[in-house]
Amino acid sequence: FPSHDMEGGFAPAITNPPSPKLGRSKGNCTWYASGRAKQWGRNAANVDRLTGNASNWGNQAINAGLRTSRTPERDAIAQWDNGHVAIVEMVNSNGTVTISESSYSATIGGPLDYLYGTRTIPASNPTRYIMP
């Protein structure tokens, strides 16, 4: 994967992420996805059209005329209407995608205290993919 060190000035900074954070977490998913999409080279002005709660990013993207799909692409924003976003790091040949994300737990009450992490999920899991 490209380096997560943000020398280009994009989020996530190594420390002091912006508010709102989730409790004592080190970051949040929208802050991370915005910065990581820009780091991958996605159009910064289009990425900046996606604001607020992750649950709204799908409709914001559609209303802004950004390309969305149910088919993943590397460096796309994976978006869930229930309120999460992540970045597709790899599209795998077995129908999964490897995503990177910040401060999300797949289990209620699970750990949120990480700046970023990766996991592999079914490609059909996100509501949509946004390609800003």
pLDDT, tens digit (0-9, with 9 covering 90-100), for 46-91? 999 999 889 999 999 999 999 999 999 999 999 999 989 999 999 9
Task: Using DSSP, state whether 58 is helix, strand or coil.
Answer: helix
Residue 12, pLDDT score: 46
Would you list the DSSP string of 16-47? -PPSPPSTT-S--HHHHHHHHHHHHT--HHHH
- Could you read off the pLDDT of 80-110 as tens digits, one per residue? 999 899 999 999 999 999 999 887 666 556 6
- Could you read off the pLDDT of 31-40 as tens digits, one per residue? 889 989 999 9
pTM (two decimals)? 0.80
d(CA 28, CA 19): 8
- In contact, 54 and 84? CB cutoff 8 Å: yes
